[in-house]
Structure 1
Amino acid sequence: MSRKITIIGAGSVGSTIAYSLSQEELASEIVMIDINKDKAEGEVMDIEQGTCFRESISIIAGDYPDAKDSDIVIITSGIARKPGQTRIDLAQTNVNILKSITPQIVKEAPNALYVIVSNPVDIMTYVFTKISGLPERQIIGSGTILDTARLRCGLSEQLQVAQKNIHAYVFGEHGDTSFIPWTGAYVSGVHVDEYVEAAQRMGKDVKPINKDAMIEYVRKSGGVVIAKKGATFYAVSRSVCQLCKTLMASSESVVTVSSMMHGEYGIEDVCLSTLTLVGPEGISGKLPMRMNKGETEKLKASADALKAVIAQIDL
């Protein structure tokens, strides 16, 4: 089946997503759009020359009309946070970029599913939801998919068990107010705390989880990578590709993506990540996960932090 994916933004994240998609059998067409046309053309040329080892695929550096009939549009445009720049400064700058992009891309691809990756992703998802005019089901912020992947990586190393067996999630903002609802953290059907006890009885050198340290690991991983190599793009690209697979699958999956809240957990008019049912029609709805009072309060605090930023930006 012919599938078309358009990526807006040919920076490190957008280009790595394009490369990752080019190595999968997900898309038969990939369009890259960037204000710097030479950069987009260079990325496409480099990626295209490595596609002779797979089934034929069309990859072009195009303009907005080339996005016509896209199944998925991935928005990665924006600038990275600079030293001394506040989150609000970053938010307003990237919101302004998104406001210029949105009418151009929506005009050409009104039926596509939109994956918002640009940071601050929850704010950008909110703005796109408000200004695009599209049904909310078509708008999916990458949210805490990456945070959840980082959590499972950290738990896998500590618990000495495969990541695929770990069912634990990061909720809230993709940022400083994210949190782990440990009430719903399991290794297969066993709660993580019970798993530690069982592993110890087996003679394994598994320590109890330092839950404060684990959320710090999740929150600070991006900063550590940036400090060491200058940018993060591999893990987020794989996360976005996995989300694209979900959007093109024959059945739905539960993922932590950012989308508009409508009273769930007592939260409204803000985009953040909770358990969400996603599939080929986009977002079907949110799944209520049992959380204790403290966890629910953390989710509300995350929502309030995002609302405080929204209140200070020009929509």
Structure 2
Amino acid sequence: MTHPKIAIIGCGAIGTTLAYSLLLRHPHLDIALVNRNPQKSWAKAFDMSHCSPELPDRTIRSETPEECTGADVIVMTAGALPRENGTRADVLKDNVAIFQTLLPTLARNNPHAVLINITNPVDAMAYAAGKITGYPSERVIGTGTELDSMRLRHFTAQVLDLNATELKIQVIGEHGDSMVPLWSLATYRGQSLREICPALDEELKATLLHQTKRAGWDIRLAGEHSCYGIAFSATRIVETILGHSFAPIKISAEIQDEYGLSGTFLSLPTQLNLRGIESRIMPSLSSSERSQLEQSAKIVKKQLDDVDKLL
């Protein structure tokens, strides 16, 4: 029996954490690590392979872009980090160049894969990946606001003394400063959050959203790089594609007239399968949330225009 193959491109903290998470959680899986420095991917895969006596019926190995074939899912984690005093545009230019180097070979050798992008800026780089590979839009996604949704649930549960696993708050739109929290639909144990937690006023919501937006930078300022939360988000996305979960997940993809918008990449709750996007779900938005989403769409569209200029 052929196991699903997951190719993880980039062996930094995110890529290796994702590989280890998948290795621990799922038998019947083949994992390939691909890195521009093959020594690094070999060392990481070699190290993780030593778990095999206690983790049967799964494999992990190192491959070059040329050797990587037959992947069901490709996860892009390779990319440049923001430079000190640098800009988002700097990172975009650097990362588009990296994708142009890696993706043509990977796309040619894996013509039916679903591509998940983690590299920042997530929405714009997912768009770039689609343009470079020529994959159909339903097979190109970004990790989007799945992590933002988890972070906001975590911070909200902390301040309100709630069980985060029973708290449902969705974040949609850009993975960035224009993300849109859907407070109007937030629930706790099936009840409206605003009804059972009157302390959650507009000032507190703004504080919690600011924490969510700043989380990655706060980790960076502490001298570390965010990897565990995003790797876990990507793990959940892979699991959904493989059919281990059927719950909608907040991923970024090309907008196809949802909410009357088009020509941009935004996160919405989405049903996934081995062919990529099965369906996009449009939550009922308040007028304020609708306005925020429209603004988010404009901001991401400007990033996509910048990508077009670089390709």
* TM-score past 0.5 threshold: yes
Give the alignment partner of residue 251 of structure 2, picking from 252, 257, 262.
257
Task: Indicate whether 1:295 and 2:289 are aligned.
Answer: yes
Q: Which residue of 2 aligns with 1:240?
A: 234
Rounded to whole Å, the distance in 2 between the matches of 1:111 and 1:253 is 23
Q: Which residue of 1 aligns with 2:270?
A: 276
CA deviation string 1:79-127 (max 9, x = no partner):
1111111111111110111122221111111111111111111001111
1:293 partner letter: S
Moved more, 87-96 or 248-257: 248-257
Rounded to whole Å, the distance in 1 between the matches of 2:241 and 2:39 is 30
Q: How does 1:151-170 map to 2 (within 5 A)?
A: 151-170=152-171
Q: Which residue of 1 aligns with 2:51?
A: 50
Residues 268 and 98 of structure 1: CA distance in aligned 2, closer, same or farther (over 3 Å)? same
SS of the equivalent of 1:23 reads: helix
The RMSD of aligned alpha carbons is 1.7
Q: Which residue of 1 aligns with 2:60?
A: 59
Moved more, 259-268 or 24-33: 24-33
CA deviation string 1:150-188 (max 9, x = no partner):
011112223333222122111111111112121121113
1:94 partner letter: N
SS of the equivalent of 1:312 reads: helix
Rounded to whole Å, the distance in 1 between the matches of 2:242 and 2:306 is 37
Rounded to whole Å, the distance in 2 between the matches of 1:139 and 1:73 is 10
Give the alignment partner of residue 211 of structure 2, picking from 207, 212, 217.
217
CA deviation string 1:11-60 (max 9, x = no partner):
11111111111111155311111111111111112222233321142211
1:296 partner letter: R
Q: Which residue of 2 aligns with 1:96?
A: 97
Q: Which residue of 1 aligns with 2:279?
A: 285
Tell me if the contact between 1:253 and 1:279 (Cα under 8 Å) persists in the aligned partners.
no
1:47 partner letter: M
Which structure 1 residue ranges, 5 or more long, are not aligned? Answer: 198-206
Rounded to whole Å, the distance in 2 between the matches of 1:15 and 1:303 is 32
TM-score normalised to structure 1 length: 0.92
Identity %: 26
CA deviation string 1:180-210 (max 9, x = no partner):
121121113211111215xxxxxxxxx4351
Q: Which residue of 2 aligns with 1:109?
A: 110
Tell me if the contact between 1:21 and 1:27 (Cα under 8 Å) persists in the aligned partners.
no
Q: How does 1:21-100 map to 2 (within 5 A)?
A: 21-100=22-101
SS of the equivalent of 2:270 reads: strand
Tell me if the contact between 1:4 and 1:27 (Cα under 8 Å) persists in the aligned partners.
no
TM-score normalised to structure 2 length: 0.93
Task: Indicate whether 1:208 and 2:200 are aligned.
Answer: yes
Q: How does 1:154-193 map to 2 (within 5 A)?
A: 154-193=155-194
Tell me if the contact between 1:248 and 1:279 (Cα under 8 Å) persists in the aligned partners.
yes
SS of the equivalent of 1:259 reads: strand
Number of equivalent positions: 306
Rounded to whole Å, the distance in 1 between the matches of 2:111 and 2:28 is 19
Which structure 2 residue ranges, 5 or more long, are not aligned? Answer: none
SS of the equivalent of 2:197 reads: helix
Residues 179 and 166 of structure 1: CA distance in aligned 2, closer, same or farther (over 3 Å)? same
Q: Which residue of 1 aligns with 2:128?
A: 127
Tell me if the contact between 2:27 and 2:56 (Cα under 8 Å) persists in the aligned partners.
no
Rounded to whole Å, the distance in 1 between the matches of 2:156 and 2:52 is 35
